[in-house]
A and B are shown apart, each in its own frame.
Chain A
Amino acid sequence: MSATTLTDGRPDTRSAVPARRRKPLRSRAYKVFRVVMLILVVIVFIAPLAWMLLASFKTNVDIYDAGKSIIFSPTWENYNNVLGRNNYFQFIFNSFWVAFCSTALSLVLGVPAAYAMSRFTMHRSALVVLMARIIPGVSLLVPWYYVFSNMRLVGGFSVLILSHMFVALPLIVYIMMSFFDSMPLELEESAQVDGLTAIGAFSRITLPLSVGGIATAGILSFIFSWNNFMFALVLSGAHTKTLPVAIFNFVSYASIDWGGLMAAAVVVTIPIMVIALFTQKYIVTGLTAGATKG
């Protein structure tokens, strides 16, 4: 213990303390403050999700009992109800199929487009694709519904996949463009010097090197398609309903079965959260793509 500090570690204010001595203490106070704030942030963002998870294991009687907020006897009944009686496996499959197809097709269309737009700096063309991000979904739904119901396609998978591609494609182009922008040209150029055509260099050199970027774009577009509500609300039929629509319909009838509703909500969010846990880095890269270019 140095002479300028008291035994409890606080600085001795009676004597003149050199500025350098005070600094570690201030930074220690900041450290404590930072840890407290970080814990608070985690609690605020996680607690509601934890509450939803807890409620999904409660009987409806326990949900109404404030004394059983945290301690209660868990039950699988809600999940049995949701998965068994309400045909949720069909909805899970629908959500998966629509998200998978729309993502795959959007990658096929979007990756080469993003490549061309990045390499030839086609900023005006890129703007056309990015317009899709600005336009309100309803303004597209009215004409789509008009046309597709005249073609008697509403309620089928094809229309759902097409509409979700509309969400996925701009996202993929946006992410892949910033990926290709940051990729050095030299490799492609040397491949062309070695006798590959330009397209050959793209498919044999650039594409294999872009796996990370493609994974980022694919994961994000899958998540956005899985979460999409409005398009499926209008365009899906009884057998092609996706999970968000199924949950929404859960409350449309009579009184709310809270336990069942929370179980259904968990069923929708868990797959996405598991994907997010394992692909955290990709998701963050994708969400912040192009943000630091200025």
Chain B
Amino acid sequence: MTVLTTTRKSAWRAYSDWANTHRKWLFAAPAMIFVGVLIAFPLAWTLYLSLTDAHGSVRAASHFVGFGNYLEVLKDTERFWPATGRTFAFTLSALAVEMVLGMCIALLLWRPFRGEKWVRVAILLPLVATPVAVGMMWRLIFDPNIGFANQLLNFLGLPSQPWLSSPETALPTLVFVDIWQWTPMVVLILLAGLTALSDEPDEAARIDGANAWQRFRFVTLPLLMPTVIVAVLLRSIDALKTFDILYATKGKGGGSFNEVETLNVYAYGLSFDYNSYGLASAVLILFFLIIVACMFILTRRRKGNK
């Protein structure tokens, strides 16, 4: 009996020692395997599908077509290239406005004031709101006949706008919605960066006679640059992949003239509205390469700044 308990105990001890010495991988492996299986396998599968003519039912047989899909996509000036253009137009314009506006609001909130808590809550609400619901909300506000946006314009003596219903104004309107929802994110990140800054450089510049703009431009901004780049990085990842508000407001194919069809919406439509899995996979691989390239350029700049 005692022999058994001692062996059991020493077995437990051996196991415990093993677990403790290998805890690095014991802790990290489950999460990495989970993510790895769910990423590596789908990516490999997408790569494989992009080389086939998979179409229709997922159980239908498919044939190997080599780089046919890629050639078809790259020669497609009707959907693919305009969608690429829109993806960049959307991302760059939203990002630019969000960074400038976010910086202004962050500076406005920087120093403590009364009611600070309530302003922060107000800023947080758009950020946590469900994007699909946000899309629906703006659909009502931008409705050409009954929306508040045109009521406001008419009140100010300006002519009504078609907003989401016209192919020309739909994308800029959605850029506005993205700005409304995600500027708070930039504000919060920059504010966290600003509060972490030490007061001394700013104080020194003040004593040397620098005015507010000079102190911002030559002291605060350079010190804040790492945070600014994190904000740009996080926002551009999400903006490139925007899907919810586009699909919720304009539906399949980004509207009847594909006016808001970005690469993500295009790839989604090819996959689940047309079931052209092969073609969709080729678009996705190209889209993925574009995102990775953007991240590569941004992170290289980040290292260069250090």
Contacts and interface: CB of A to CB of B under 8 A. Distances in A.
A131 interface: yes
B96 interface: no
A41 B105 contact: yes
Interface string A45-58: 11011011001000
B122 A46 contact: yes
Interface in A109-166: 109-110, 112-113, 115-117, 119-120, 122, 125, 128-129, 131-147, 149-150, 162, 165-166
B237 A41 contact: no
A246 to B, nearest CB: 9
B146 A140 contact: no
A288 B20 contact: no
A49 B119 contact: no
B185 interface: yes
A288 B192 contact: yes
Interface stretch (A6-14, A80-88, A224-232): A224-232
Interface in B14-36: 16, 19-20, 23-28, 30-32, 34-36
A294 B140 contact: no
Contacts, number: 280
A37 interface: yes
A223 interface: yes
B87 to A, nearest CB: 11
A173 B31 contact: yes
Nearest to B190: A291
A280 B120 contact: yes
**Which of B24, B25, B27, B192 has most chain A Cβ within 10 Å?**
B27
B194 to A, nearest CB: 9
Interface string A30-48: 0000100110011011101
Contacts of B16: 197, 199
Given A135-B288, A144-B42, A272 B31 contact: no
A119 B24 CA distance: 9
B284 A139 contact: yes
A41 B272 CA distance: 40
B41 A284 contact: no
A261 interface: yes
A113 B119 contact: no
B45 A45 contact: no
Contacts of A209: none
Nearest to A251: B136
Contacts of A191: none
B207 interface: no
A98 interface: no
Interface in B27-55: 27-28, 30-32, 34-36, 38-39, 41-43, 45-46, 49
Interface stretch (B3-11, B63-71, B76-84, B263-271): B263-271
Contacts of A223: 128
Nearest to A290: B230
Interface string A201-224: 010000000000000000000010
A140 B40 CA distance: 10
Contacts of A169: 31, 34-35
Interface stretch (B163-171, B214-222, B241-249): B241-249
B59 A150 contact: yes
Contact of B284 (A38, A136, A244, A262): A136
B100 interface: no
A247 B148 contact: no
B73 to A, nearest CB: 14
A104 interface: no
Given A38-B113, A38-B119, A134-B292, 17 more contacts: A34-B108, A48-B137, A49-B126, A49-B137, A52-B137, A109-B34, A113-B28, A128-B36, A135-B39, A141-B271, A199-B20, A266-B133, A268-B133, A269-B133, A284-B124, A292-B227, A293-B226
Interface of B: 16, 19-20, 23-28, 30-32, 34-36, 38-39, 41-43, 45-46, 49, 58-59, 105, 108-109, 113, 115, 117-133, 136-138, 140-141, 145-146, 148, 151, 180, 184-185, 188-189, 191-193, 196, 226-227, 230-231, 234, 237, 241, 243-244, 247-248, 264, 267-268, 271-272, 277, 280-281, 284-285, 287-288, 291-292, 295, 306
24 contacts: A37-B108, A41-B108, A48-B141, A49-B137, A52-B133, A131-B39, A135-B291, A136-B291, A139-B46, A139-B267, A139-B285, A142-B46, A144-B38, A145-B58, A169-B34, A170-B35, A198-B23, A227-B129, A227-B132, A229-B130, A264-B133, A273-B125, A291-B192, A292-B192
Interface of A: 34, 37-38, 41-42, 44-46, 48-49, 51-52, 55, 63-64, 66, 69, 109-110, 112-113, 115-117, 119-120, 122, 125, 128-129, 131-147, 149-150, 162, 165-166, 169-170, 173, 197-199, 202, 223, 226-227, 229-230, 233-234, 243-244, 247-248, 250-251, 258, 261-262, 264-266, 268-269, 272-273, 275-277, 280, 283-284, 287-288, 290-294
Closest 10 CB pairs of A and B: A294-B226, A113-B31, A116-B27, A288-B192, A143-B45, A112-B27, A265-B133, A143-B42, A139-B284, A244-B132
